[in-house]
C-alpha cells in the first residue's frame, strides 16, 4: 500500500485514524515491521540501551545514529522513517543542530528527525524546519534529561508542570513540528493536548487519547527485559522463543542431530577416495 509521509500524519489526524509507530534499529527488523504495515519506524536513541547495552541514552553519538538510520532506511519500503537526534547534537548551536539533522537525512536516509524538549529548543526546531527537514517534538519524560529529572518518572502531574507541557506543545506546533511524542504523562493531560493541537500526538505511557502510539519494539516483542515500564504491553515472548531455540540448536549439535543430510553438501565418493 501507499507510502506513509508527513501528509499522511496530517490526514490521519483529520480522519481520526490512529498512527502506529515502533522503534527499529536494524535492517531485518525494519523489513519485518514494514511488512506488517506499521505506519512509521523510529530509530530511537533508545538503541543505546536496547542495542548497545548502555544504562541510558546519554552516551549515544551522531555516529551511532547515522549507522543505525542507514540500516533501517534500507529495510523500510512503506513506513516513514524518523531518526532521533542524540544528546548534545542540538544543544550547542543552531548551526550544529541543522548540520546534525541534515546528516540523519543525507547520510542516514531517514525522512524526518525527532528531538526532545520545548521552549529550550524552539530556535533549533525552527531552523531545522527552515532547512526543509520535518521535525517531531518530544515532551513529558524526555530521557536525555534523566539527570535533571533524577529518574524515569511521570511528568506533568501538577498544574505548573502540566501547563508547561501544554505550552511547550503549542510552541513546538508554532515552530513547525508535524507531530509530538508525549511520553509518560497523565492520560487526561495527553487528551487535552491532543484536542488543542492541529498536529497529531504520538503517545508512549500517555493513554489512549493520543492520535497514535509508539513502543520500543523489543519491549513489545518481549526480548528486552532489563527494565520494563508500566506502559509496556508484551505482544510476544521472544525472550522465551530465542532461549528455547538456542537450547535446541546447542543440544542437537552436541547430539549429532544437526547438521543432517538436508543441510549438508555432498561430493562423489570416487573423488574423495583419491584424496585419502
Q: Which is nearer to Na ion, 83 or 200 (CB)?
A: 83
Do the Cβ atoms of 173 and 10 come closer than 8 Å? no
Q: Which of residues 20-59 bind Na ion (CB under 5 A)?
A: 44-45
Give me the count of residues in the chain. 276
Told to check if 137 binds Na ion by CB under 5 A, we report no
**What grid cell was written down for 56?**
541510558
Q: Which is nearer to ligand KIV, 98 or 214 (CB)?
A: 214
Choices 58-66, 75-83, 84-92, 183-191; region in contact with Na ion by CB under 5 A: 84-92
In the complex, least distance from residue 25 CB atom to ligand KIV, rounded to whole angstroms: 9
Told to check if 219 binds Na ion by CB under 5 A, we report no
Distance, CA of 57 to CA of 64 (rounded, Å): 11
Q: Which of 63, 159, 160, 183 is catalytic?
A: 183
Told to check if 84 binds ligand KIV by CB under 6 A, we report yes
Q: Which is nearer to ligand KIV, 34 or 183 (CB)?
A: 183
Q: Which residue of 165, 204, 210, 232 would you call a contact of ligand KIV, by CB under 6 A? A: 204
Told to check if 181 binds ligand KIV by CB under 6 A, we report yes
In the complex, least distance from residue 49 CB atom to ligand KIV, rounded to whole angstroms: 9
Do the Cβ atoms of 183 and 189 come closer than 8 Å? no
Q: Which residue of 214, 220, 221, 232 would you call a contact of ligand KIV, by CB under 6 A? A: 214
Burial of 267 (0-12, 13-18, 19+ CB in 10 A): exposed
Which partner from the list Na ion, ligand KIV, none does 181 bind, CB cut-off 5 to 8 Å by kind? Answer: ligand KIV
Told to check if 46 binds ligand KIV by CB under 6 A, we report yes
Told to check if 23 binds ligand KIV by CB under 6 A, we report yes
Q: Which is nearer to ligand KIV, 136 or 252 (CB)?
A: 136
Q: Which of residues 64-83 bind Na ion (CB under 5 A)?
A: none
Distance, CA of 25 to CA of 184 (rounded, Å): 22
In the complex, least distance from residue 84 CB atom to Na ion, rounded to whole angstroms: 4
Choices 26-34, 40-48, 154-162, 263-271; region in contact with ligand KIV by CB under 6 A: 40-48
Q: Is 183 a catalytic residue?
A: yes
- Mention every residue, 6+ apart, whose C-beta is less than 8 A from residue 156: 140, 162, 164, 165, 185, 186, 189
Distance, CA of 273 to CA of 261 (rounded, Å): 20
Active-site amino acid positions: 183
Residues contributing to the site for ligand KIV (CB under 6 A):
23, 42, 44-46, 84, 181, 183, 204, 214, 216
Amino acid at each position: 500500500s501507499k507510502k506513509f509521509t508527513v501528509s499522511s500524519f496530517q490526514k490521519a489526524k483529520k480522519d481520526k485514524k490512529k498512527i502506529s509507530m515502533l522503534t527499529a534499529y536494524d535492517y531485518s527488523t525494519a523489513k519485518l515491521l514494514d511488512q506488517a504495515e506499521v505506519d512509521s519506524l523510529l530509530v530511537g536513541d533508545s538503541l543505546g540501551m536496547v542495542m548497545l547495552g548502555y544504562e541510558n541514552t546519554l552516551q549515544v553519538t551522531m555516529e551511532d545514529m547515522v549507522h543505525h538510520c542507514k540500516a533501517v532506511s534500507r529495510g523500510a519500503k512503506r513506513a516513514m522513517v524518523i531518526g532521533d537526534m542524540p544528546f548534545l547534537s542540538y544543544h550547542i548551536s543552531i548551526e550544529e543542530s541543522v548540520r546534525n539533522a541534515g546528516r540523519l537525512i543525507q547520510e542516514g536516509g531517514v525522512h524526518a528527525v525527532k528531538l526532545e524538549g520545548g521552549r529550550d529548543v524552539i530556535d533549533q526546531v525552527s531552523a531545522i524546519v527552515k532547512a526543509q527537514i520535518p521535525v517531531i517534538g518530544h515532551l513529558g519524560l524526555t530521557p536525555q534529561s534523566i539527570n535533571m529529572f533524577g529518574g524515569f518518572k511521570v511528568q506533568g502531574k501538577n498544574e505548573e508542570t502540566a501547563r508547561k507541557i501544554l505550552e511547550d506543545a503549542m510552541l513546538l506546533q508554532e515552530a513547525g513540528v508535524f507531530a509530538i511524542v508525549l511520553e509518560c504523562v497523565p492520560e487526561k493531560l495527553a487528551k487535552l493536548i491532543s484536542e488543542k493541537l492541529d498536529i497529531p500526538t504520538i503517545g508512549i505511557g500517555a493513554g489512549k487519547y493520543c492520535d497514535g502510539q509508539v513502543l520500543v519494539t523489543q519491549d513489545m516483542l518481549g526480548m528486552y527485559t532489563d527494565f520494563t515500564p508500566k506502559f509496556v504491553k508484551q505482544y510476544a515472548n521472544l525472550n522465551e522463543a530465542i532461549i528455547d531455540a538456542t537450547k535446541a540448536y546447542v543440544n542437537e549439535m552436541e547430539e549429532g542431530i544437526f547438521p543432517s543430510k538436508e543441510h549438508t553438501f555432498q561430493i562423489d565418493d570416487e573423488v574423495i577416495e583419491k584424496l585419502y
